[in-house]
Chains A and B, each alone.
Chain A
Amino acid sequence: MNAPSPNAARPLLEVRGLRTVFHSLAGAYAAVDGVDLSIAPGEVVGLVGESGSGKSVTGFSLMRLVDPPGEIVAGEVLFEGRDLLSLPESAMRAIRGDRIAMIFQDPLMTLNPVLTIGEQMIEAVTEHHGVGERAARTRAIEALGQVGIASAAQRLRQYPHEFSGGMRQRVAIATAMLNQPDLIIADEPTTALDVTIQGQILHEMQKLCEASGTALLWITHDLGVVAELADRICVMYSGRIVETGTADDVLDAPRHPYTAGLLGSVPSVNAPGSRLHQIDGTAPPLSARPTGCPFRTRCGNVLPVCAEIDPPLAGPVPGRGWRCHNPMPERDAA
């Protein structure tokens, strides 16, 4: 329903120069190192990266849920023009779970094991809105019905352990949708689920977000899922966004060698039985990032300049860019 153009509307969320470090005895290491990101109302943005790329820490930083030894040290997170990073904690609490909600890979992170589903969902409504418990219960039943949970009124009396993994994730999604937030940050919500259950959850999320105009930041390592879901894609590597653009641009005409390498390693784009295209090596640890471009030690396009100058994010139009001195040749997006 939304045009996949970043310029279509004033961004709902705009992140500028976000930097989150983790302190250790040996010093502070940046897990998120200067991330810029913008999400339009109702837009689905995929944030793709491997483990350690900083994609989850980015999600937590947007919600200001980074605990020590982690610390957000720089940047702005503008939500409808207001900088969330400079809000008092009480104002941030009012936004969390109401205007911005989060869903995690493990739904047990969201659900309290000693409270019934109903108690948790009702509190999530009454906490933010001055409505009675009866109205909140009605809202909770409605939300559970929307994610395909049958006999919702009975299910409200049950505890999280009485639900299967897929059902728990539905409860987490229903809880996130309770107050019809403007933005949902979903951190690998389907990774732990079986394929047919993953399909069901993606279906529910897509339907709900379109119906309520909720924007979605979908954090994942799975390019296949993002391709089928997202309007725009940001690829993260070593704490930075190394490529960004529309799903068509990034997936059909990748310019950063890392994006191209990730796409090439997907089995379905290789001839059956052939060797997969592979990116050699592994991502460097935060404590031992190479100078210059952090990808240069694994890159097939490496130039001498890559060791000296960290390439900035640049591109032909706003919303399309890559960090590379020697990008992949230009191709047409299909």
Chain B
Amino acid sequence: MTLDTTHREAPNLDAPILEAPNREAPILEAPILEARGLVKRFSRKPDIAMRLLALAGRPIDRRTVHAVEDVDLAVAPGEVVGLVGESGCGKSTLGRALAGLHPPTDGDVLYRGKPVRELTRAERLAYTLEVQLVFQDPYASLNPRRTVRQTVGEALAVHGLAPRGEIADRVEAALAEVGLDASYASRYPHEFSGGQRQRIGIARALAVDPRFLVCDEPVAALDVSVQAQVVNLFMDLREKRGLTYLFISHDLGLVRHICDRVAIMYLGRIVEEGPAQALFSDPQHPYTAALVAEIPDVRRRKRRFTPIAGEIPSPLAPPPGCAFHPRCPHAMPVCRETRPALAPVAVGRRAACHLHTAPGASPAAIATTVGVPS
């Protein structure tokens, strides 16, 4: 099979048909947010020395980071989609691009079916308000010189969403919703613990009545016992407000717990995507298999660790062919040359691996990616 790496599938033919056991089947609706062939690259702006050298005839070395490459991902209303990968894989960049913080280098972000760059003024405002972000570091994401009331109420005031006189009430309601006392509104961020700050960050997002939260490692900086509190808050809010989430995390145990559907990223691309339980119990990409094997388990004792070798290559110079081939125990000659397309491998599941298509290869090998603990 020849694989044309520039080929893009028509979105949504295979996407979210969801089979989440023990849960209400999410409604098959038009996606609320969608990335279509999304590309985001960062290149260094030439500084004065480089420009002078260029004038002198030396070529400019514009090193480009391929943060997100050709990503298709759709999130339907009410879904919780997990975006998983190791540091540098582009998961935060993808989340920020979906929320409108990074303009795409190529491809499109679609908000309710319409490319963001074609939105009217009013639609653009709706997109900006309906899609909110919750950040990882509750110490860096709050302005230390503003009170909680100023931070949480700012968007309401700027966009005229509430009469001046009602803003204080709206702030208190948002604080109450995240489990903080109204008396905290006049305090400053340094007066709070990490968990409380993360609640303030969530209240700030909730104040404008969003439909969609992009959560970028929202509990990674919190203590274990506080993590559970904040995760429960997210789950309560989902139920009460019918929120949709893109949950970006490196913590697979957590993602398995709260997500309906999961996308695994490696070096800027989605390598596997599917319903959470199926993806974790039966990975269809060797990288997913390696990640799943590394989920720490309190029920496992004296494990013999036989991890996957190597590190993520630099996004400045991604390897040719499949980006995972230097670390993959199943790598074949075709993997070094041709990049596998993200293609359907089962109902509602996509994976980018030659083991599914190459002649003589068997996807059964994926289960043996990492040595089984003895």
Binding site for B on A (CB under 8 A): 50-51, 148, 164, 166-167, 194-200, 202-203, 206, 221-225, 227-229, 231, 247-248, 251, 261-263, 265-273, 275-280, 282-283
Contacts and interface: CB of A to CB of B under 8 A. Distances in A.
Contacts of B307: 196, 199-200, 202-203
Nearest to A270: B257
Interface stretch (B48-56, B110-118, B225-233): B225-233
B22 interface: yes
Contacts of A194: 86-87, 250, 312
A16 B306 CA distance: 37
Nearest to A165: B87
A16 B226 CA distance: 31
A195 B295 CA distance: 8
A227 B256 contact: no
Contact of A195 (B228, B252, B300): B252
Nearest to B303: A228
Q: Which of A202, A247, A276 has the most CB of B within 10 A?
A: A276
B309 interface: yes
Please report whether the interface of chain B is mostly helix, strand, loop or mixed according to DSSP: loop
A170 to B, nearest CB: 11
Interface string B227-247: 111011001100000000000
Interface in B272-309: 276-277, 290-291, 293-309
A166 to B, nearest CB: 6
Interface residues of B, number: 48
A195 B257 contact: no
Interface of B: 20, 22-23, 86-87, 193, 195, 223-229, 231-232, 235-236, 250, 252-254, 256-258, 276-277, 290-291, 293-309, 311-312
Contacts of B22: 271-273
A276 B233 CA distance: 10
A325 B276 CA distance: 42
A272 B277 contact: yes
B253 A268 contact: yes
Contacts of B311: 164, 166-167, 196-197
B253 A266 contact: yes
Given A166-B311, A279-B225, A228 B195 contact: no
A209 to B, nearest CB: 12
A272 B252 CA distance: 12
B86 A195 contact: yes
B302 to A, nearest CB: 7
A223 B298 contact: yes
Contact of B300 (A221, A227, A270): A227
A223 B223 CA distance: 12
B228 A222 contact: no
